[in-house]
Structure 1
Amino acid sequence: MSDEPGDSPEAFLSARAAAKLLGVKTSTLYAYVSRGQIQSVAGQG
């Protein structure tokens, strides 16, 4: 198990929460992901 920051589930946000935090629409957030500007990690469920 790694002790890297961001390894715990609490370190991840939903797309909606991330968009709100960044002050953008979720569609803009998804565009950032597709351009490689931010990283997306698939969650469970």
Structure 2
Amino acid sequence: MFGKQKEAARREVDANNKKNHVNQIRLAKKYSFRLDISLKSKKE
């Protein structure tokens, strides 16, 4: 019983980590894009 509960909890954590990872990549791309724009505007 306890082992199964642990396993389910670990699976849930793994799923959440994957979701967070995807969101972090998405945010990183968005922010790096904005940084590129702001750097270019500063150079001009």
TM range (shorter): under 0.3
Greater share of residues in helix: 2
Taking structure 1 as the reference length, the TM-score comes to 0.27
TM-score (norm 2): 0.27
- Structure with the greater alpha carbon radius of gyration: 2
